[in-house]
Structure 1
Amino acid sequence: MPVGILYSVSEQYGGIGREMLNGIMLAIEEVNANEAMDFTLAPVIYDPGCQLENYYRYCRELLYRHGVKHIVGCYTSASRKVILPLIEGTNAMLWHTARYEGYESSDHVIYMGAVPNQHVLPMLDYVLKHERPEVYHVGSNYIWSEEIDRITRDMLDMHEGKMVASRFMGLGETDVTPIILDILARRPPVILITLVGISAYRFYQVWKAMSVEYAFLREAAPTRLSLTLCEQEVAMIGAEAVEGCLVSAVYFHSIDNVQNQKFASCYRQRFGEHAVPTVDAEAAWMSGQFLAKGIQASGSDDPPLVREAVYGIELDAPNGKTRINRENNHASLTPRLARIGADGKFHLLWQAPSPVSPDPWLTWSDLSR
């Protein structure tokens, strides 16, 4: 059975795309080696190179030329939204693996990444308990950062906090010095960073370089919050540039459970002894596992039948027990907070006692808690 893979593994956020590709490929190889499965999955891979027009063109090729019914892919919300009409118009299924801003629920998408009540709200809860609630937000100029900004403002307003400033940069933009100088002038206690790809890498590296001259950036440094940093990016940026950052995610390589130990071991065997799985790789891996189990349970790769079968499956995943919510097609996931140490590792500070049901519309989550 052909499965479309649509991840950008080149250009400004290609590093994350590579992690996602690794995750789904590992899952497909495990499924194909499993004698209990009476089918095999054949990946058809395209690299859109972070260009929205390529996402649309390659998605169309996957659907019409290759006849795929399931596509695993997309990192940015912009890329997801540009292909969604094609997915819905052909009654196909998109397995979306990235953390995202929520406020969407399509019958033709299985959302494997965390939504705000699973990663944004836990981080803001921590800020409200441990920091002065004055936040300076710097992010990439697209849907995800804009929605995170709105949610953060709403929660701060409810707790008599404030958004000191919001600064957005174009995807791939690297001139971060003016923003860091503005931070120096305003001296906020908390920085929320939703930059992605090379924009984020440059921000952390320039911050480190400027800290030599500006004591505030090293001695009285504000708490830096990230919703995107992962192990692979720390290796790219350099641990010394991101040491102390507080990161919210549903998966870290440092999770201590049997499922994660097995997953990490298989990941190293497949991609090299120094390879470390990330939250993006784990989400893509889960997509492949759910897809295969859904096909097996339904006896078909027909998207509606697979979707219905998936609702009845619980996956004992590295991040914890995971199910797909029938009401909104999003995954239950276990929120966690970690701080990056001088060793470049993510040291867990907190984790939810059990998986948290997805609330993509923030209809029942209490922002005033």
Structure 2
Amino acid sequence: MKKSSWLKTVLCTALVSAMPYAMAADDTIKVGVLHSLSGSMAISESALKDTVLMLIDEQNKKGGVLGKKLEPVVVDPASNWPLFAEKARELLAKDKVSVTFGGWTSVSRKSVLPVYEELNGILFYPVQWEGQESSKNIFYTGATPNQQAIPAVDYLLEQGIQRFALLGTDYVYPRTTNKLLEAYLVSKGVNKDDIMVNYTPFSFSDWQSIVADVKKFASSGKKTAVVSTINGDANVPFYKELANQNVTPEQLPVIAFSVGEQELQGVDTKPLVGHLAAWNYFQSVDTADNQKFIQAWKTYRKDDKAVTNDPMEATYIGFNMWVKAVEKAGTTETDAVSKALIGIEVPNLSGGMAKMLPNHDISKPVLIGEIQEDGQFAIVQQTELVNGEAWSPYLPESKNLIADWTDPVNCGAYDTVAKTCTSQK
């Protein structure tokens, strides 16, 4: 055989051999999973990684999407904010994922936002956040302040609370949320001297003096509460110190925005019974869909003690919205799916329907729950569906702004007075 003929035969054989693998790769839809599996946020984010994997597994058993199986691509940004951006670029540019589910902290979201806009990817962000942003490439399935922080403070005001200690982890979500809450409380007649604000680093553990300061702040004779935007593993020593200093919910109730069933697994909850959390879902919600979800989760984890929480429900909603939008668009192409997503409705786990709004936020009920001895929450208040607001009307810089990603506005920060699309702050 001539050398040229031999080479042609080898190349043809190699091409034929490679074809099944190429076809197999083309026959899947890659789904990015961008959650911290190590570092300070692993206590919260690891469960969300498994939630996405469970949902992918369930969808594949139904036949996948558009006749193709879903293929997860899992990366670990390790609670490192610059690494989030690096891993996001890897998912989009190297792995060619069609969608990503990921992030917890707002600083992680802000780290990846320019990457998703530059490379035109889709990110579903499943955790409560501060608003003051709207990206054409991000779909926010967690609560905005008017779906969590504001209703939580309203609940406290209804209970006669007059002084507020705003304790948070030192990053963008607590700082922006507390800035908004300060403005809201003042608008409700609360004196500025009756608002205490304190920030601590991620993974902070030495709470003794801060809890003592809060107790002193609460000793004025006015009924006082703590509003907590403490995030990640710092919650465990915080609640332990409350118990050490005999802080009871009758004396000084704490309402948390980042503590759910997952975080309470690491805490002796007996001294915490009666403290509060504000979310849009609790495992204790009594609906058939929720019971089915809980059982599926326990089966997937092979753990009868596995718990569900709010960001898991937000992931569930976002995943089902994405599947429905892809089927509606008939493609995984970003622009087509993004357009199809607006107006999509899927069931939540509380008995209602979640709808994707033109501002890329969704509709959610607001639930206030009391911690129980078993680490679950007794629901003491539940609202009707509330539409998420990207921009707060209580801050002067955003009171005239809205987000609307439909024509003719098609803008994430539209000034309704000037009638112009502004750059985001």
If the TM-score is normalised by the length of the shorter chain, which range does it land in? Answer: over 0.9
Structure 2 residue 193 is matched with structure 1 residue 165: no
Q: CA offset at residue 219 of structure 1?
A: 8.3
2:351 equivalent to 1:324: no
The CA deviation string for residues 213-251 of structure 1, in whole angstroms up to 9 with x for no partner, is xxxx24862111111111111111221243211111000
One-letter code aligned to 1:336: L
Larger radius of gyration between Structure 1 and Structure 2: 2
C-alpha distance after superposition, 1:184-206 (max 9, x if no partner): 22226111111111211111011
The superposition leaves residues 138-173 of structure 1 with CA deviations (integer Å, 9 ceiling, x where unpaired) of 110001101121121112112221443111001122
- 2:44 aligned to 13, 16, 25, which one? 16
Residue 117 of structure 1, CA deviation: 0.7
Q: Which residue of 2 aligns with 1:48?
A: 77
Offset at residue 252 of structure 1 (A): 0.3
Name 1:346's counterpart in structure 2. Answer: 377
Residue 173 of structure 1 aligns to a residue whose secondary structure is coil
Runs of 4+ in 1 over 6 A off after TM superposition: none
* Structure 1: segments with no counterpart, 5+ residues: 212-216
Match among 179, 194, 205 for residue 210 of structure 2: 179
Amino acid at match of 1:262: K
> What is the distance in 2 between the residues matched to 1:208 and 1:151?
29
Q: Tell me if structure 2 keeps the 8 A contact 1:21–1:281.
A: no
Query: Whose RCO is larger (CA < 8 A, sep 6+)?
Result: 1
- Contact 1:19–1:278 (8 Å) recurs in 2: no
**How big is each residue's C-alpha offset from its partner over 1:56-109, in whole Å with a ceiling of 9 and x where there is no partner?**
111111111111232110101101111111100011111111110111111100
Deviations 1:7-26, CA, capped at 9 Å, x for gaps = 00222121210121122112
Q: Which moved more, 1:269-278 or 1:311-320?
A: 311-320
Q: Is the 8 A contact 1:27 1:286 kept in 2?
A: no
1:190 aligns with 2:222: no
> Residue 235 of structure 2 corresponds to which residue in structure 1?
200
- Check whether the contact 2:104–2:127 (CA below 8 A) recurs between aligned residues: yes
2:283 pairs with one of 248, 253, 275: 253
Q: Which has the higher mean CA deviation after the structures are superposed, 71-80 or 356-365?
A: 356-365
C-alpha change, 1:232 and 1:287, in structure 2 (3 Å) is same
Q: Which residue of 1 aligns with 2:55?
A: 27
Asked if structure 2 preserves the Cα contact closer than 8 Å seen for 1:97 and 1:112, the reply is yes
What is the aligned length?
Answer: 358
In structure 2, the partner of 1:136 is 165
Contact (CA 8 Å) 2:365, 2:382: kept in 1 or not?
yes
Alignment of 1:250-289 (within 5 A): 250-271=280-301, 272-289=303-320
Q: State the 1:364 CA deviation.
A: 9.3
Amino acid at match of 2:232: G
Q: What pairs with 1:6-155 in structure 2 (closer than 5 Å)?
A: 6-35=34-63, 37=65, 38-155=67-184
TM-score by length of 2: 0.81
Check the 8 A contact 2:168/2:199 in 1, yes or no.
yes
**Quick one: percent identity of the two aligned structures?**
25
For the Cα contact (< 8 Å) 1:172–1:199, is it kept in 2? Answer: yes
Contact 2:280 2:366 in 1 (8 A): yes
Are 2:43 and 2:233, in contact at CA under 8 Å, matched by a contact in 1?
no
- CA–CA separation in structure 1 for the residues paired with 2:46 and 2:64: 29
The 3-state SS of whatever aligns with 2:265 is helix
Structure 1 contact 193–226 (Cα < 8 Å) conserved: yes
C-alpha spacing 1:178/1:332, structure 2 compared with 1 (3 Å): same
Letter matched to residue 140 of structure 2: Y
Does the CA-based 8 Å contact 1:23-1:283 persist in structure 2? no
